[in-house]
């Protein structure tokens, strides 16, 4: 199995038990897991049974380990798994993709299931989450996924990615500051956002210009599959972005062991 956890931050809490065993996971019929909607087969095709196993994991240990709220269980398909999977046309064939602040593997794991050609790196700083992610990736047999423990900045200077993605992590300006330096020339950042995406993009446009982003846009995905549709802010770069630049009021990365302030209580990738 190719899944691994890179331990770059030794200050995290103690590790939980592995996600679950295959016998415990079931195929979507486990109590607490919502029934599989008909549209799931249309989105995932032959991979739908694997998506069902992932939903079962989320409904079981994903909730018990605090990665998913208990009230989200009935909405795991439409609000989380399908919401992420429908954006897969954004990604080039065979691309390397970094999922920042992956948490419970969203959007990275649904993308890895629906697109086995993609090579996903799930970037997450908290040990309890990376332990769960590593166990889940191994349980699902996702050979196209690795788990990286650390902040996004820990990958600056490493081989670059064709795409960076994130969901509910930070404002687009801050996400661009830490994510664009991970991209190769011609790469794209794709941030899954809510209805405020157009306003946020307008407000943070000066930061994107200062980072030498070549263009940015908002698009919706999942018509007829999820309601509301998934909004994605895409930021493209023409040339590679230099890490650590000061942009407007954005500070450089905090020293190891200190936490930087984040906006609106969002997860820090």
Q: How far apart are CA 48 and CA 27, in angstroms?
A: 10
Give the pLDDT score at 168.
86
Picking from 72, 136, 128, the residue whose alpha carbon sits closest to that of residue 120 is 136
Tokens of 24: 């415990």
Span 170-223, pLDDT tens digits: 999 999 999 999 999 999 999 999 999 999 999 999 999 999 999 999 999 999
Span 78-112, pLDDT tens digits: 999 999 999 999 999 999 999 999 999 999 999 99
Output Rg (C-alpha) for the chain, integer angstroms. Answer: 18
User: Above 50 in pLDDT, residue 243?
Assistant: yes
Whether the CB-CB separation of 98 and 242 falls below 8 Å is answered with: no
* Rounded mean pLDDT, 154-175: 95
Confidence of residue 245 (pLDDT cuts 50, 70, 90): low
Whether the CB-CB separation of 124 and 147 falls below 8 Å is answered with: yes
CA distances from 1 to 14, 48, 53, 88, 131 (A): 24, 21, 18, 24, 15
* Rounded mean pLDDT, 250-259: 38
For strand 145-149 and strand 161-167, is the pairing parallel, antiparallel, or unpaired? Answer: unpaired
Confidence of residue 39 (pLDDT cuts 50, 70, 90): very high
């Amino acid at each position: 199995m190719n899944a691994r956890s890179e331990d770059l931050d030794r200050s995290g809490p103690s590790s939980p038990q592995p996600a679950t065993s295959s016998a415990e996971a079931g195929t979507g019929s486990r109590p607490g897991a919502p029934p599989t909607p008909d549209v799931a087969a249309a989105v995932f095709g032959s991979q739908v049974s694997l998506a069902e196993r992932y939903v079962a994991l989320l409904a079981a240990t994903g909730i018990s380990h605090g990665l998913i709220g208990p009230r989200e269980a009935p909405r795991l398909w439409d609000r989380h798994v399908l919401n992420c999977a429908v954006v897969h046309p954004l990604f080039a064939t065979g691309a390397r993709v970094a999922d920042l602040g992956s948490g419970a593997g969203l959007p990275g794991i649904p993308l890895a299931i629906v697109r086995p050609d993609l090579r996903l790196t799930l970037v997450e700083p908290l040990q309890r989450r990376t332990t769960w992610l590593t166990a889940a990736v191994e349980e699902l047999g996702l050979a196209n996924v690795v788990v990286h423990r650390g902040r996004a900045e820990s990958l600056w200077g490493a081989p670059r990615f064709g795409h960076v993605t994130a969901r509910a992590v930070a404002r687009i300006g801050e996400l661009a500051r830490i994510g664009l330096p991970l991209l190769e020339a011609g790469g794209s950042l794709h941030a899954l956002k809510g209805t405020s995406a157009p306003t946020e993009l307008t407000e943070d446009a000066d930061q994107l210009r200062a980072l030498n982003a070549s263009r940015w846009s908002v698009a919706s995905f999942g018509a007829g599959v999820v309601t509301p549709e998934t909004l994605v802010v895409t930021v493209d770069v023409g040339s590679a972005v230099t890490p650590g630049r000061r942009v407007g009021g954005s500070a450089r990365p905090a020293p190891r062991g200190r936490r930087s302030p984040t906006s609106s209580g969002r997860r820090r990738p």
